[in-house]
Structure 1
Amino acid sequence: MDTYFGVLGAIEVRRNGVPVDAGHAVQRRVLAVLLVDAGRAVSVDALVDRVWGDAEPVSGRTKLYGYVSRLRQVLPVEGGAVLGRERSGGYRLDVEPSSVDMHRFRELSGLARREGSDLQAEALWREALGLWRGSAFAGADTSWFNAQRDVLDGEWLAAKLELVDVRLRLAQHDRLVGELLARAAEHPLDERVVGQMILALYRCGRQAEALKEYERARRRLADELGVDPGAQLRRLHERILAADPELGVGRDSAPLAAATATEPAEGAGAVTASVSASVQQLVPRLLPADLVLFVGREYELAETQRLLGGGGPGPVTLLVTGPAGVGKTAFAVRTGHRLAARFPDGQLHADLRGFGDEPAEPFTVLGTFLRALGTVGGSVPAELADRIHLYRTLLAQRQVLVVLDNAASAEQVRDLMPSGGRCATLITSRTTLAEVSGRRIALGVLNSGTGLALLGEMLGPDRINAEPGAARSIVETCGGLPLAVWVAGARLAARPQWPLAKVARALADEQRKLDELAVGHIAVRASLGLTYQGLGPAARRALRMLALLPGPDFAVWAPAALLDVGLSEAEAVLDDLVEVHLVQTGAVSASGIRYQLHDLVRLFAQEHADRALSYGVRTAALGRLLGASLHLADVAADMLSVDFQGIPQRNLVSWRLGQDDTRQLLGDPLAWFGDERQFLIGVAEQALDRAETGPAAGLATALTAFFQVGSHFDDWERLQSRALKAALSGGDARSAAKVHRCLGELTTILDRYPEALHHFEQALLLAEGEGPAYRASATAGLAYVHRLLGQYASAVGHFEAAVELARRRGTSTVSCTRPTVSA
């Protein structure tokens, strides 16, 4: 199995020439760090520092372990790539150096320098430089990656100059002049570049122009650095003046190479060697490799070429829109490669991940783009506004295509769109992005002929010709959705012994059962059905249970509760579902790895849950989820040292995680709540829908401190108001008292004092039988509001009553409102 790793551009893995999903951005950074030190152990501390830098999360080590575990699934079982744990606690990735483009580049560079034949050296240098696809470690913006990138940028430029020396010796000066004039304009203080340029001019019979360029360089060095040219460049100038025959073709083609590498050149050269321009005009090539499997879209491609390739006044913006799975990314990549000649100054590309857990921030994308355009190291501005200014300045006079893939909003793309009249922007999105001004192309489903061509590209003509009717049936059942055709074709490609009719019959069955779905979605579900049937009983049950979860993503503790198992067992069954792509891994959060169900997978799982889960099984599972949510929220609030007295609700917890699992999840309770807020609200609302008022109100009140600390006042009021209404309707006085107490806190904070008085009064009235701790706290809240209203006599009376209740409890301190939190 041929696996190739790339860091000279976007961090990528290819297997037999086909891109492999190496995970999201942080996971790819972990891989890149290990690849840089391939064959050597890297400590956990070093990994964490290199991957996150100053942005290291609180649970960095825990997240790192998750990424390493996922990377082991990416690495081939065969092929010599082994990711192992060292006794020292670090990790080591053993791979063939030649399978990593950075190490291969350095290997080829060494061979080229040692090669005696200039023809062979030229071939080696070209091969080495051909490995570069853009800025090294594109998208990775930490101090370690930036330092590595600066080193590699220097090696890249040195390789370009070495290749020029070889080509000059091979008498290719006439083909080099244009390139060298441009490079000298970009690096006017680099004496080696200047020397190569004037030597090429001289050999082309342009002696006067060579002398003029030398004089220009001499004046610039004097004006900007206060120095004269170094000895090597001055010597070359003298030899050109004297028309030295030794400067002829094949005699002395690189007079400055050695000096640039080793000589200080009488002091002046040392200064020159230490100075590099803050921006070197590079030609970025950040587009992903063109896709092998791409058919159709000829009309849309022609229209795109007309809109973007006309060379008229700009800048031009084109938005490519359509539903998920319609092929927007593939279309954008193919368009970029077709228009490469129209944009000679390069192509920039960024996956904005607009609908994922970690949308790309314009600040980070701009950093990547600026480095790809040649901004060196620390010259990348630290402020967003400065990055935007420099980015637009660099593109003002260039012809660059900017591809912004998978955008979610106008805010995500606005700062990344160039203002230069000769540039163009291509944006893809699932939404219309109505706020973005530009031309639009909407991608629809494929017609039957094109869909059949795509299936044929995946399976080969022999299998299509052997069963043409079944092939047409597959494409028609998929409704022309490219993703659907691809999923069906991928399963058949992986199982060459399967007849096409087997998949065609399965798709036909699902079509009859899924009458409420658009035809394109039917094929995806049918293909999911084939995967589902191949699962073991535990994984099938888990997928059905996952359909009960609220919200688009979840942490492992939620399925643990649904399945009535511990965290490790839940992780194992989730791994089975991730393996067959029914569950996707998302960001690593305070609760560990977050998981996602694609919308179509969720709907598919819901339908199987409706058929397979009895009312009793469903109710018990949701009860465990509610119990786990209430238990974790209570423990997290206790960890914050909240000075707030409520009614005990431990008796409401019907299920809880073990102590070790709970401690593992709640290392940082505020971060945990930040990740789980919407999920917990969804669990509480599900319980209210089921009329489980007591524990639902318990969960709603357990979140009070978190709502206050995060200023989530809308969530606070909406959820607890609904819980209060349910408690009052159901005659649950105890729950109503708790919620009134919490809403008293909220309305006090919002300066709605009459409402606050009502809530505290009702809290006392409905909880008359509760202990002194609760009544002391509620009475103190009432006193605090009277004080805010200037009703001091009433305030004093209530405060005295609260103190007396506190003494009966055995303490002289009471909480008013506004709980105090120690984070």
Structure 2
Amino acid sequence: MLCVLGEVTVRDEAVDLGPARQRCLLAALAVEGGRVVAADRLVERVWGAQPPRRGRATLYSYLSRLRQALAGAEGLAILHRSGGYLLTGPVDLHRFRELTATARAAGDPEQAARALTEALALWRGEALTGLDGEWAEAERERLGQERLAAERDLADARLALGHGDRLVAELAAQAANHPLDERVAGQYMTALHQAGRTADALAHYRLVHTRLAEELGTDPGAPLRQVHNRLLAESAEPGPGTRTARQLPAAPRPFVGRSADLARLDAALDAGGTVVISAIAGAGGIGKTWLALHWAHRHAARFPDGQFFVDLRGFSPDSAPMDPAAAMRGFLDALGVEPHRIPLDPHAQAALFRGLVAGKRMLLVLDNAADTRQVTPLLPGSATCTVLVTSRFRLTGLVTGHAARHLPLDVLSGAEARALLTDRLGAARTRAEESAVERLIALCGGFPLALSIVAAHAHTRPHRSLAALADELAELGLGALADDDPTASLPAVLSWSHHALTPAQASAFALLGVAPGPDIGLAAAAALVGEPAAETRRLLLGLEQASLLAQDARGRYRMHDLIRRYAADTASRLPEGAVAAARNRVVGCYLHTAFAANRLENPHRAPIVLAPLPAGVTAEVLPDERAALAWFDAEHPCLLAALDVAGAAAWDLAWTLETFHRRRGHFRDRLAAWRTGLAAAEHRLDPAALILTHRLLGRAHADLGRHDEGIEHLHRALALAEAHADAANQTHTHRTLAAAWVAGGEPRKGYDHAVQALRIARTLANPVWEAGALNAVGWYAAQLGEHDHARENCEAALTLFRAHEDAEGQATTLDSLGFIADRTGRHEEAVSRYRDALTLLRAIGSLYEVAGTLDRIGSAYAALTRHRQAREAWEEALELYRRQGRDEEERRVRRQLDALPSTRD
């Protein structure tokens, strides 16, 4: 059942509404959105300025007939109310307006596009068809403008998603029909730019500029000029708003041959298309990554807006292929997106990424892909981006579904293999032993990885003849290279390389193969191999020279997948217990360094007691809080991997990561860490550890919006704390329960738990804990309107926090006092409190709290009619809310901004 702008259908059959003026009457009621319309106004709308002599009587007759006609329309009814009449029930116009309002309030262009598409689908031709008169004509024009505005908004949303190449034809027609509409012109220019036709976009701007000058005697307005300036800037340099990613590893040296393959990649780039993808297929060690990187560096200038690189670990020896969401998180990090801005949903992350790269000239190198499903979520939606994928599989799904150009990669030719060895060893040495060179080429089977290892050993042993090296290689054998899956035979080459290592190098090589994490730093490597840092550096340098290890620009060490698999296999030959001891050492290094880093981050946190470092292991020395944070950032993937092999120490490691995870916004990692920590805590004879684990696991659930799971763990923590008379954990758990209940919509329960926390805290002789509980009581009392009680508690809390130099505690308490002052009409005091809070919060990097305080200081400014400052605060809060995925707060602040007067202070 629908009321479609004057037409009524019931079960898809039209209802006869009688004469045109009777239908006009229904339309006059329908457009009001359920509001009462006075009888005199209805008469005016139906008959205009000269109604018939018995206009009211006729109106009542029409209303009676309409009621009868609508009797079978479920939900539709005309009701009499004091002052007039109203139409109730489903009206498409009302639904259209609801959907367009939803779209304009949405921060996500995908959500906006869905809502606007649904809204525009409700239109069935021109509004109020068949109706005449002054009111109907004016209303038809107004409704047509609403429809046109929605169409323009939909085009904006689709352009924000990078769909400009699909909109070019539609917007070209719009631009032709509305040659002086500057919004249409800007949309058409953006679509052309996203389709790779920036020159055409700039030409269209010149055309519009000329028409405006000739026909209206004016220049383009600021919005259209901004579009023009953006296209000019982006055609010359990376656009503003995102960080320019430069992730390509160093170009391979040397690189020889592959001229035909490079030419095919060039042709794929020049051909264009929706997304240019060249899937380079080939076996492990065939040189896919080298080819991709060499080509990428040759063409880097064609991608001034950035180059991404990610190893998808499709065939990693010690882990499953990388989750596309993890790769996407890396891309967003590289673009400078703050952790709080990154949404939890992978689809939303992909939409954010596509929006950021829309219209940009970027290159993505997706290395070592497992299958098409791993790659598809990472593809940008813009034709200006180029994607290069390497895999051991053909990725026919990419070829079929995304028009990828497939490039199978074969072994090097004899001439190319000879050029590689000559480049590495020098022409004189290869000319002196030409027959030995030919034997080495034949034994390596043209595999670039095998040839590189041969060259590395020949280079590092200059006094050994190439013939002797060929004899050793022949003795180990490479016959399996002729197999359909030649990756199975590369260990023969690696075993030969391993055979040439010193015993210390061979042991280090094996242990690196079983180290937790995708890479490793020098200090952790020293703990792993059980040697001092200087000796470890020498061992790692030997492995680099043997082409078994690579060091990146950050000084971290990483192995190729195949090499690491072989290294892990060789670890089984080490003496019994050697691997377990090495893992114990590296976990000890990570744990004690993380503990020291946490103490720098959060010195007021009650420390735990760690087991001593294993003999001979030294933790890293971190001089200050900034160094601690940088260390956590660099080692975070390794720390997460260490959790899985840490055994009983997993609980301690989860504890050390807590502050970092909270401040960096790694909420899912925090939840995973405490789940692992819980398993370890359940095996410890330490009730305090189990209590703390349930409490922090409950907090992790609650911070992710998982209210029921959070409350369940918190109740367990409280029950255990009470059973063991653990007063400290009781007060901490009550405070966490307070926050969880308030977040769940029950402020009175939250207040009661805060009061319990304060009662217990006062018995513990810990002034910082007491201050935290005082502030909690004050904050929740303020939520309940008990402002005098709230102020008293927060003032006491602030005094204690200042006495003990707790910056975070001072900041949150100042925010509470600002809120109380604002609620009691003391707006100047509120502004002062909020400003002091913001200074401290920014200093400690607590952006989550900064957003809330900005929101509240904006309200205080608005109450003082300082509208410019209110707008500035709310606009900054709005951006932070958007980045942090706090949709409800974002919508509320948008409404606050819309309600602000547009005049300056």
Give the TM-score taking structure 1 as reference length. Answer: 0.48
Higher helix share: 2
Please say which structure displays the higher CA radius of gyration: 2
